[in-house]
């Protein structure tokens, strides 16, 4: 029996596959064989057989080679059936008349069979597939294609014949996580259709699992170059792949891999000595600018000007060649004509210089000869393990090391917390000069042709440097995209990474085979990479620095309620509209606060939110309003719209307010025409925007960043749980972190605890209020871990206990520990297990000690602490204090 003509579908047992692989060796062999035979794709029935083998539901892959066999197969699967042509010559089957749907009888099947034989009599026909007629569902598409920089990508979207027109698809770089899969589904415009708009929702769970399975299939079988499941029918229960095609080829070795990333760049940013090859004191020469910048900004290390024709440069002893410098040199800057640069770099390598910044131009950017020179240099530096920035760049600025390597002369720079990577020298010159009025930079690195050190290497370093708390990137192309996603995901967890990527429009259509490839424009891929790694993408230069000013000067909002204070209704409305479009909302002020606001304003002002102070708005009024606002739990950030004419009078007052860690964005309409006071406000730490929309949008992006970072941190803490299921009294119990959706379960739990248990835990009478539920279920993973033990019987969930580790802000490395177990579950092993897991988590989170305080009469608790090896520290009248040393 030939493959594909089997009348019985094989039983699959994926678990039994070698190495725990998704596909059996036999199925993987179909792919290998196709590659060996130089075939470019697998036909529908072959693709579906492989998919079925991976546990993916399809309409079947039976093939008939004669009319009689076709009938026999129909008998077997039952009517109605679908018949499709199997021919390597027919790619789009339905367009060619090769798909016959909904055949109800033997007669119809015979007719269809003969019809197809006739239609395709000039093509090579392998047979006819006979498959189940799938019930109608929502037509979706899942596909895979590959990008030279990012490697394999997965796509999901609404599919069928209109997929290329609607372009309602989302992409991710493979492999994906469960969260990526969920976000891909959420991201498409039609996601509401999937969630049940006008009908039953589709089975999102199994769709997510399908995406993950495809991710694994591609990961384990790199010969699958591209894949299209189009359409895929989605149902309220399950899904079915109705059509499938796989493109195969010998896997490329280099795809998505990286050459760099091995060296720690600390000494590159903080060198103890610098040689400037091409240093000069002839005004106007670039070599003079670079050297002058180093001297005038007070570079603290040793400087060695290299210039064969000079005894000294700007009073510093010069050398003819870097080889003549008697001491070791950490870093060399090369700023000589391209022709001389090659030899200079070779000299640096011989001297053992580890880092070279090539500011000289005339390499790959300038044609064939330059390209060849660059390639020769690359070979030399690789051999010596020397790391090179550039060529064709404007060097590095590190204000924390008083080091300015720029080609353009730069005036004073303040030490700041912004780190910037730019694939354009202008960001270390013209643009920087303007920006330095309103933004303080720590490190600026321009990467030029990025022959060696690239944007990802710098990003990785900046995410580690404690002087830097916000990262800005300007990029024209992304080298080794896969490593970028990896590094950026980790960096974005620590600090905001804001990116402007130019070249958004696709420069010309590629000739592509699959639906997926035709939809995967460069920009879709970049977007996917940024979303997946949590990087914030700016639209343009203005948006880029609008975000940067807010992120670098203001804290992240902890909720989405905003108080808007304005002097004109129109700008209040503009802010409001944009807030709602950006995932934010107007804070709802409790009556108590409303009354206080009223008292702070003249009668004619409109108290509500936005608060319209009218044109009589004064700085003192605004101060009062903000001071009332910061106390409300629902207000987590502010937008203040200020009259340009009186902006100057706001600076000192705004500075004097205690914002309790809640961010403020200011709006001054037409600010560019009153720039003097705007600069003062910016320098006082308040980002000022020309439009209310921009202020609202920026706050929305900050909030979204905070939410994402918290959830990623929570996920990473959760991965440290060594035990997440156990059985207590034969009841299955799951240990997991609490989340904001647990409000109901938390409230039920507190209500079920006896007053005594609550007293012992909270040391005062305690009951579940909605406000407390909010607070106890929304933990900030940077400060607190809350672990719950949850029992499930059928669909019923309930909490049996909750343990919390809370960072002690006054004592470095110490966490406070508290635990409560529901009454019927006390004195079983649960308290100990929960505590042991919390101790594990505390270790992983880097805590050195855990401290617990409890009432002396809380014997059960004391017993748990003793069992977990806490040391008794002391007691007063009714409390005992115990600590556990983790180091």
Residues that bind ligand ADP (CB under 6 A): 59, 82, 84, 92-95, 99, 101, 131-134, 160, 231, 242-243
Which residue, 132 or 302, is less far from ligand ADP as judged by CB? 132
- The least CB distance from residue 91 to ligand ADP, in Å, is 7
Which residue, 247 or 705, is less far from ligand ADP as judged by CB? 247
Alpha carbons 87 and 688: distance in angstroms, whole number: 64
Binding mask 356-385 for Mg ion (x = CB under 5 A): ------------------------------
Residues pairing with 85 in the sheet: 128
- The least CB distance from residue 78 to ligand ADP, in Å, is 13
Which residue, 84 or 213, is less far from ligand ADP as judged by CB? 84
Alpha carbons 887 and 870: distance in angstroms, whole number: 13
Q: Does 52 bind Mg ion (CB under 5 A)?
A: no
Among 71, 40, 94, 87, CA closest to 242: 94
Question: The tokens 């495809």 sit on which residue?
Answer: 214
Going from the C-alpha of 18 to that of each of 24, 31, 581, 743, the distances in angstroms are 7, 16, 50, 45
Question: Rule CB under 5 A: which of 250-269 touch Mg ion?
Answer: none
Measured N-to-C along each axis, helices 481-494 and 692-718 cross at an angle, to the nearest 10 degrees, of: 100
- The least CB distance from residue 532 to ligand ADP, in Å, is 29
Among 672, 709, 710, 673, CA closest to 694: 672
**Contact partner, 214, from ligand ADP, Mg ion, none, Cβ < 5-8 Å per class:** none
Alpha helices in 511-660 (DSSP H): 515-519, 522-533, 541-553, 569-581, 591-600, 619-629, 651-655
**Contact partner, 82, from Mg ion, ligand ADP, none, Cβ < 5-8 Å per class:** ligand ADP
Question: Rule CB under 5 A: which of 234-253 touch Mg ion?
Answer: 243
Strands 127-132 and 99-103: unpaired
- Judge contact between 836 and 803, C-beta under 8 A: no
Asked, as a colleague might, if the bond just before 175 is cis with ω within 30 of 0, I would say: yes
- The least CB distance from residue 191 to ligand ADP, in Å, is 21
Helix (H, G, I), strand (E, B) or coil at 653: helix
Which residue, 90 or 574, is less far from Mg ion as judged by CB? 90
- The least CB distance from residue 68 to ligand ADP, in Å, is 22
Asked, as a colleague might, if the bond just before 367 is cis with ω within 30 of 0, I would say: no
Which residue, 102 or 437, is less far from ligand ADP as judged by CB? 102
- The least CB distance from residue 561 to ligand ADP, in Å, is 46
- The least CB distance from residue 136 to Mg ion, in Å, is 15
**Contact partner, 134, from ligand ADP, Mg ion, none, Cβ < 5-8 Å per class:** ligand ADP
**Contact partner, 160, from Mg ion, ligand ADP, none, Cβ < 5-8 Å per class:** ligand ADP
- The least CB distance from residue 788 to ligand ADP, in Å, is 45
**Contact partner, 131, from Mg ion, ligand ADP, none, Cβ < 5-8 Å per class:** ligand ADP
> E strands within 38-150?
41-42, 62-64, 81-86, 99-103, 127-132, 138-147
Which residue, 29 or 95, is less far from Mg ion as judged by CB? 95
**Contact partner, 406, from Mg ion, ligand ADP, none, Cβ < 5-8 Å per class:** none
H/E element holding 241?
strand 239-241
Which residue, 63 or 471, is less far from Mg ion as judged by CB? 63
Which residue, 232 or 733, is less far from ligand ADP as judged by CB? 232
Which residue, 46 or 522, is less far from Mg ion as judged by CB? 46
By beta-carbon distance, which residue lies closest to Mg ion? 243
Alpha carbons 34 and 42: distance in angstroms, whole number: 7
**Contact partner, 191, from ligand ADP, Mg ion, none, Cβ < 5-8 Å per class:** none
- The least CB distance from residue 79 to ligand ADP, in Å, is 13
Alpha carbons 148 and 136: distance in angstroms, whole number: 37
- The least CB distance from residue 190 to Mg ion, in Å, is 19
Burial 638-676 (b: 16+ CB within 10 A, else e): bbbbbbbeebeebbeebeebebeebbbbbbbbebeebee
Burial 824-855 (b: 16+ CB within 10 A, else e): ebbeeebbebbbbbbbbbbeebebebbbbbbe
Which residue, 117 or 161, is less far from ligand ADP as judged by CB? 161
Residue from 24, 59, 230, 837 touching Mg ion (CB under 5 A): that is 230
Footprint on this chain of Mg ion (rule: CB under 5 A): 230, 243
């Amino acid at each position: 029996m030939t493959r594909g003509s089997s009348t019985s579908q094989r039983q699959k047992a994926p678990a039994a596959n070698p190495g725990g692989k998704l596909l059996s060796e036999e199925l993987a062999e179909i792919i290998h064989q196709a590659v060996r035979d130089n075939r470019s794709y697998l036909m529908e029935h072959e693709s579906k057989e492989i998919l079925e083998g991976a546990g993916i539901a399809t309409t079947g892959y039976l093939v008939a080679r004669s009319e009689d066999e076709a009938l026999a197969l129909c008998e077997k699967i039952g009517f109605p059936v679908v018949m499709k042509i199997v021919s390597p010559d027919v790619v789009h089957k339905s367009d060619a008349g090769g798909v016959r749907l909904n055949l109800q009888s033997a007669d119809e099947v015979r007719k269809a069979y003969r019809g197809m034989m006739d239609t395709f009599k000039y093509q090579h026909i392998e047979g006819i597939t006979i498959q189940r007629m799938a019930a109608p569902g929502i037509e979706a598409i899942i596909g895979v294609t590959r990008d030279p920089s990012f490697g394999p990508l997965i796509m999901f979207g609404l599919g069928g014949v209109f997929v290329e027109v609607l372009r309602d698809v989302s992409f991710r770089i493979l492999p994906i996580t469960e969260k990526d899969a969920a976000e891909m589904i959420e991201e498409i415009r039609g996601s509401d259709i999937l969630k049940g708009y006008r009908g039953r929702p589709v089975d999102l769970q199994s769709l997510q699992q399908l995406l993950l399975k495809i991710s694994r299939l591609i990961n384990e079988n790199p010969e699958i170059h591209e894949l299209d499941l189009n359409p895929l029918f989605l149902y309220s229960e399950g899904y079915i792949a109705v059509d499938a095609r796989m493109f195969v080829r010998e896997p490329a070795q280099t795809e998505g891999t990286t050459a760099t990333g091995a060296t720690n760049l600390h000494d590159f940013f903080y060198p103890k000595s610098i040689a400037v090859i091409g240093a000069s004191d002839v005004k106007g020469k670039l070599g003079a600018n670079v050297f002058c910048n180093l001297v005038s900004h007070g570079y603290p290390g040793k400087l060695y000007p290299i210039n064969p024709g000079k005894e000294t440069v700007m009073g510093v002893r010069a050398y003819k060649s870097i080889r003549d410098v008697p001491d070791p040199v950490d870093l060399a800057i090369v700023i000589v004509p391209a022709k001389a640069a090659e030899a200079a770099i070779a000299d640096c390598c011989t001297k053992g210089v580890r880092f070279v910044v090539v500011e000289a131009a005339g390499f790959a950017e300038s044609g064939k000869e330059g390209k060849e020179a660059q390639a020769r240099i690359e070979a030399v530096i690789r051999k010596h393990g020397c790391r090179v920035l550039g060529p064709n760049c404007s060097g590095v600025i590190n204000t924390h090391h008083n080091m300015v390597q720029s080609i353009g002369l730069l005036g004073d720079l303040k030490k700041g917390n912004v780190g910037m990577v730019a694939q354009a020298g202008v960001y270390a010159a013209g643009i920087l000069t303007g920006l330095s009025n309103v933004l303080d930079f720590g490190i600026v690195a321009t990467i030029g042709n990025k022959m060696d050190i690239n944007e990802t290497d710098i990003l990785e370093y900046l995410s580690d440097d404690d002087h830097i708390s916000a990262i800005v990137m300007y990029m024209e192309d992304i080298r080794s995209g896969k490593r970028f996603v990896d590094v950026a995901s980790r960096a974005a967890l620590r600090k905001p990474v804001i990116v402007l990527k130019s070249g958004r429009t696709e420069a010309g259509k590629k000739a592509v085979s699959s639906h997926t490839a035709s939809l995967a424009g460069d920009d879709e891929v970049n977007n996917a990479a940024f979303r997946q790694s949590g990087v914030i993408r700016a639209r343009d230069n203005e948006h880029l620095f609008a975000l940067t000013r807010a992120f670098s000067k203001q804290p992240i909002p902890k909720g989405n309620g905003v108080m808007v204070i304005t002097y004109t209704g129109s700008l209040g409305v503009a802010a409001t509209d944009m807030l709602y479009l950006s995932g934010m909302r107007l804070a709802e002020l409790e009556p108590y606060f409303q009354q206080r606001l009223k008292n702070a304003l003249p009668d004619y002002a409109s108290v509500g939110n936005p608060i319209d102070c009218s044109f009589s708005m004064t700085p003192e009024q605004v101060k009062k309003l903000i001071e009332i606002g910061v106390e409300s739990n629902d207000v987590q950030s502010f937008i203040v719209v200020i009259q340009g004419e009186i902006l100057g009078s706001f600076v000192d007052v705004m500075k004097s307010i205690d914002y309790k860690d809640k961010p403020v964005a200011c709006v001054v309409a037409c600010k560019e025409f009153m720039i003097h006071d705007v600069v003062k406000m910016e320098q006082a730490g308040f980002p000022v925007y020309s439009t209310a929309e921009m202020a609202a949008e920026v706050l929305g992006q900050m909030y979204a960043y905070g939410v994402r970072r918290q959830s990623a941190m929570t996920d990473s803490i959760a991965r440290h749980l060594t035990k997440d299921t156990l059985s207590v009294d034969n009841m299955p119990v799951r240990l997991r972190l609490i989340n904001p959706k647990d409000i109901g379960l938390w409230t039920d739990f507190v209500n079920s605890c006896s007053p005594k248990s609550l007293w012992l835990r909270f040391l005062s009478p305690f009951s579940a209020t909605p406000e407390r539920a909010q607070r106890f279920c929304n933990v900030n993973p940077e400060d607190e871990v809350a672990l719950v033990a949850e029992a499930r019987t059928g669909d019923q969930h309930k909490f049996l206990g909750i343990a919390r580790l809370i960072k002690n802000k006054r004592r470095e490395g110490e966490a406070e520990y508290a635990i409560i177990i529901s009454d019927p579950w006390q004195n079983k092993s649960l308290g100990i297990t929960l505590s042991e897991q919390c101790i594990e988590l505390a270790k992983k989170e880097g805590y050195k000690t855990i401290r617990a305080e409890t009432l002396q009469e809380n014997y059960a608790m004391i017993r748990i602490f003793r069992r977990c090896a806490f040391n008794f520290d002391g007691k007063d009248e009714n409390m005992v204090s115990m600590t556990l040393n983790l180091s």
